[in-house]
Amino acid sequence: MIDGKTVLFSGMQATGSVLQLGNYLGALKNWVTLSKEYESFFSVVDLHSITIRQEAAALRSGARNILMLYIAAGLDPEKACIYYQSHVPAHSELAWILNCFTYMGELNRMTQFKDKSAKHEANLNAGLYTYPILQAADILLYQADLVPIGKDQKQHIELCRDIAQRFNAIYGDVFTVPEAYFGKAGAKIQSLQEPEKKMSKSDENINASIFLMDDRDTIIRKFKKAVTDNFAEIKYDPENQPGISNLLDIYTLFSGKSIEETVAHFQGGGYGDFKLAVGEAVADGLKPLQERYNELKADKEYIDKIIKNNAEKASYVANKTLRKVKKKIGFPELIR
């Protein structure tokens, strides 16, 4: 809570130059709805990105693209605070402090670390291991009540809650203990090529993910190639028919129809026609976002102003929490 208002915090990593459909349906789309109701902070979490080796120019432009996608998706940067994590040093500072309030056993249990370390064996750095602590700092700095995320982040929010409660138990009510918020649907969009695993922006197979700026032909082509099954039946059964069920989830999120209505509509038809319809629905649904993004890209001055103003706004709130934390811990006060 800040000044009696419920606070929302969330972020996305600047890995790759653009977001994928799961980031949009699982998180960003919900942010737009929720931001109308709550005091909101949406960060492009570029400090998190360097847990995987990044090329400097690509990181810089990718982070800016993601910030513009937040706005293109419908977030109002005059109301919601949209900013780069690296512009607010309090994130790194609180992360160090919280490192000392987190147990190795807790980090060892993080399934994302297990997944990511298997993927990045050649660069198994300490940041990859401790990044849930930085994520906890991100959230706790803003006294967030709600954190809208996809299901893959559930475990990290639980850790964040444990850290906050542990700290509060020692020092009094310093942090708001946040709750995870999952949308009704879309919380887990699966890969189009390996429907047993989630869609990811860093997937090496470009046909596995739909990127938000993919053009219409590319979107339709990727859906046509989507891996399904041999049952020849359009049915919602994530366990036995994960590919078709994923396509049904995606279709309903764009068409506004229910799963039952969609199954009834496509029943008896072939997979080919269904895949084409999903591709068309997604291409149509992303069109307004893509058009707005292209307008924003052309308006450098406007985006720069948002970046500057929101870095100041975020720093103000974050520094207030950080000062309180430092005082409670017993660090000597700054003499001005």
* Binding stretches for ligand AQP (CB under 6 A): 12-13, 15, 20, 22-23, 26-27, 149-150, 152-153, 187-189, 198-202
| CB 121, min distance to ligand AQP, A | 16
| CB 135, min distance to ligand AQP, A | 8
Does the annotation mark 29 as catalytic? Answer: no
Does the annotation mark 275 as catalytic? Answer: no
* Number of other CB atoms surrounding residue 105 within 10 Å: 7
The nearer residue to ligand AQP, 116 or 323, going by C-beta atoms, is 116
- Catalytic residue, candidates 36, 119, 198, 320: 198
Q: What single string gives the DSSP state of each residue in 70-101?
A: HHHTT--TTTSEEEEGGG-THHHHHHHHHHTT
**Which residue number is nearest to ligand AQP in terms of Cβ?**
26
Q: What stretches of the chain show up as alpha helix (H) in DSSP?
A: 21-23, 29-35, 46-49, 56-72, 90-99, 104-108, 111-119, 126-141, 154-171, 216-224, 242-255, 259-266, 271-297, 300-329
Instruction: Note whether 223 and 278 are within 8 A (CB).
Output: yes
The nearer residue to ligand AQP, 24 or 266, going by C-beta atoms, is 24
| CB 147, min distance to ligand AQP, A | 8
Give residue 263's Cα distance to chain centre. 29
- Catalytic residue, candidates 79, 114, 201, 305: 201
- Catalytic residue, candidates 116, 224, 257, 313: 116
Structure tokens at 268: 């008896």
Does the annotation mark 116 as catalytic? Answer: yes
| CB 158, min distance to ligand AQP, A | 14
Can you tell me the distance from the alpha carbon of 201 to that of 321, in angstroms, rounded to the nearest whole number? 32
The nearer residue to ligand AQP, 12 or 67, going by C-beta atoms, is 12
Structure tokens at 319: 């520094």
**Which residues are part of the catalytic machinery?**
116, 198, 201
